[in-house]
Structures are given as C-alpha cells and as structure tokens.
Amino acid sequence: MNKTVFLKRTALPAMLAVAMLALWRVPEPVIETEADVRMTLPDRIGEWQGHAVLFCQNPDCMRGVLWNPGDETTCPTCESELHIKSYAENTVLPADTEIVRKRYAHPRGPTLLLTIVLSGADRASIHRPERCLTAQGATITSRRIVRIEDDAGSAFSMTCFDTQQTRGHGQAVPGVFCYWFAGQNRETPFHWERMAWTGMARLFQGRVTRWAYISISGESDAAATRHDEYIVPFARKARAALLAKGNPPPSRQ
C-alpha cells in the first residue's frame, strides 16, 4: 500500500473519528470575563484630544453627538435618548457586546474615531468589518496590511481600507478605516485568523474568548498620504494605552 492510499484508508478516518469524539465530549464552554484591552478610553492620546460620542436611538434620526460629562443625555435634534451604542449596534449585536468609542482631534491634523467592540458569549458580536462597512454604504477602493513597530520593538499589524462614502447630494467623501483584533494574548489583522483561534480555544480548551475589535477611522484627503502620517502614530499610541497586560508578546505578523 503506498503512502497516499494508506492515509486515505486509515489516517483520515481516524482523524475524523477523533474530531467527532472531541466535539461530542466538549463540555459547556467557560466564558472568559477578562479582556486583553482596557475598556476605558483615555481623554488624551499623545497630542490627540478625545471626546465621547453618543448616538440618538430614534431610528429616523440616529444622530451622533459629542458628549462631555454633565451634558444632557437626550438628542439635541429630536430629544430621544442618547446611548454609547448606535441604534444599529443596539439592534443587531448581542446585548453582552461592550462598546467604547471616542473621537480624537489633532491640533494640526485630521479627526479620528477610535472604537473598541468587545465580544460577549455570542460569536455574532463581531462581524466581518468589510460587511459592516459596505452595509453602511461605503465602497472599499483599496486594502492593505500596515505593520507597525512599537517603542519596545515588538510589532503588530492592521488591515486598512481606503473607502468612498456617498453623502447627500451624491458627494463622495474619501475615508480610511483600519482595524485589528486582540484576544488570547494575540493580535491579528485578519478576521479569519481570529475566528480560527476562537474555534480552537472553544474546541480544545472549552473557553469562549473575549476578543477586542479595535478600529480607527476618519475622513481623508484625496492624496491619501496623510493617513500614514497620522494614523500610524495614533494607532501606536492608542495600542500602548489600551493593552491591559503590559508589554504584549511579539506579533507573528
């Protein structure tokens, strides 16, 4: 019997049997409470000044409002309730999904929105970012992986999209949207890799990991050169402020 035939006849059925046995034996998973990131955003990140953003829960309004402690928690336009999660996030995502978000303004540069979505027990907490962006009416014009070294010499990577968002009067506004995931003491710019680690932790360790989906977005100028000038330093500083467990392990990207 040659090697290929042997594999087909014995090894593959044996592996399938082990996998099925493992699935059958999987106990109720333990849902982790700890996250790899802090779920409070600083008021300042380097030169950037942060402001909380709240969203109107009226589906006909859905206005985003800059908010300071002590301000009203009702919408200035329609007087409906304001909430940290947008109307769509409140409606679509499982209730145990945590979200924090701030808008950061640079004194001489663009304004960026930093959002962290922390998954709960349900894997539906984090969708594929491409799907959410296109559902919100944005067109992705290009994508790239941006590798960033931190001050301690370790590195992480983000997936970045250039986007076009059509506003009223048909005007197309260019934007940039970058994201990565942190959980299980790992970081990855790939949704599929996060899903794979999630599946393996659940299958082999009976754990449901709380992954943080960190995104940075903003409008951009047509030249697109300022993205890297501002977004990379901002991402580096934001990550240093957010990672809860000291220095992260070196990324494999």
Which residues in this chain contact Zn ion in the complex, by CB under 5 A?
56, 58, 61, 63, 75, 77-78, 80
Beta carbon of residue 86, minimum distance to Zn ion (angstroms, whole number) = 12
Which CB sits closer to Zn ion, 77 or 136? 77
Beta carbon of residue 95, minimum distance to Zn ion (angstroms, whole number) = 22
Tokens 């409470």 sit at which residue?
A: 33
Q: Of 86, 163, 101, 90, whose CA–CA distance to 129 is shortest?
A: 163
Beta carbon of residue 87, minimum distance to Zn ion (angstroms, whole number) = 9
Which CB sits closer to Zn ion, 28 or 60? 60
Tokens 């304001």 sit at which residue?
A: 82
Tokens 């992480």 sit at which residue?
A: 156
Q: Is 174 exposed, middle or buried (0-12, 13-18, 19+ CB in 10 A)?
A: middle
Which CB sits closer to Zn ion, 56 or 235? 56
Q: How many CB atoms lie within 10 A of CB 141?
A: 13
Beta carbon of residue 78, minimum distance to Zn ion (angstroms, whole number) = 3
Beta carbon of residue 74, minimum distance to Zn ion (angstroms, whole number) = 8
What interhelical angle do 12-25 and 191-205 show, nearest 10? Answer: 70
Beta carbon of residue 159, minimum distance to Zn ion (angstroms, whole number) = 32
Judging by DSSP bridges, how do beta strands 44-45 and 138-149 pair with one another? Answer: unpaired
- Calculate the alpha carbon distances from 238 to 33, 43, 46, 131 in Å: 22, 11, 9, 25
User: In angstroms, rounded to a whole number, what is the distance separating the alpha carbons of residues 156 and 130?
Assistant: 20
Q: Of 220, 211, 217, 165, whose CA–CA distance to 190 is shortest?
A: 211
Which CB sits closer to Zn ion, 75 or 231? 75
Which CB sits closer to Zn ion, 63 or 226? 63
Which CB sits closer to Zn ion, 27 or 168? 168
User: In angstroms, rounded to a whole number, what is the distance separating the alpha carbons of residues 181 and 160?
Assistant: 13
Phi, psi of 91 (to 5 degrees): -85, -40
Beta carbon of residue 133, minimum distance to Zn ion (angstroms, whole number) = 23
Which CB sits closer to Zn ion, 75 or 132? 75
